[in-house]
Amino acid sequence: MNEREARAILFANIEGGSTFWAREIYSQSALAVYEGIVAGNYDPIKFEKTIGRVRNADSSEILERIEKSNIDFLTPADPTWPEQVDELAAPPIALTVKGDSSILTLPSLAIVGTRNPTPYGMRIASDFAAGFVDREWAIVSGGAYGIDTHAHKGAVIAEGVTIAIVATGLDINYPAGNSRLFEQILENGAIVSEVMPGVHAIPARFLTRNRLIASLSKATLVVEAAFRSGSLRTARDAAELMRPVMAIPGPINSPTSEGCHRLIGERAAEIVTSVPDAMEFVTSFQ
């Protein structure tokens, strides 16, 4: 058993976003944690299910499943590992990647927002994505319907790099209606996940996925978001990492802009109205 094999076992059997296990792994090593689990050094009642799964796991079978799906298994030992994710309170144990993993280290802007955007929001997401890729930035989003889709499309149309962080296994096209978009993303970009192939989405995985979107990016832009929205969680995650957060203002009576206005009103996000405006704000942090 080596460090990579131990990470494969822990990755396949521990849900992403666990602060406890992330701290254990990053303060020791994946191999030390694996050996500790096998040796019975962790609470057998509290961690009963995890202990049982880890003890019965086969690293070669896990790595073979990933390889057969034409997916890269990325760990902190790999040269293309995006070190910025290590700043999270619960850094990922590993990442699965389809496409060019080297682009994960490019300067990137996260563009997030509602799944039910207005035509205004769709256009803004696409325009800002195109504007940033023209300046040789990558665009990061979640591959979902709505603002995510139009951010990715804006980058693709501008022949730039875009990265989708998804909440399912990379052999699952979710949402199915974005299958063609995922193919286009892979032409120059990458799709990233924190779960094994074959794993389906559950609500909690979207929240843990959001922290990866925030951590992978130098800055986050919220285009349209309801008053209570997962996109606001991404913005909070970015702020906790001391990364710049921006928001697009909308009509004062638009429900899809309430979240953006909330961030601006709380001074949790900088109001931006153009790509040069956003670029100036982001570069002032560097």
* pLDDT tens-digit map of 141-162: 999 999 999 999 999 999 999 9
Amino acid 48: pLDDT: 94
* pLDDT score of 285: 75
Mean pLDDT score of the chain: 95
- Predicted pLDDT of residue 230: 83
Give pLDDT tens digits for 235-248. 999 999 999 999 99
What is the second-level CATH architecture of the domain 101-283? Answer: 3-Layer(aba) Sandwich (3.40)
Question: Which structure tokens are listed for 207?
Answer: 């929240």
Reference 96, options 120, 117, 75; nearest CA is 75
User: Residue 286's pLDDT is what?
Assistant: 63
Query: Which tokens belong to 82?
Result: 């995006």
With bands split at pLDDT 50, 70 and 90, how would you rate the model's confidence at 222?
very high
Domain boundaries along the sequence of the chain: 1-68, 101-283
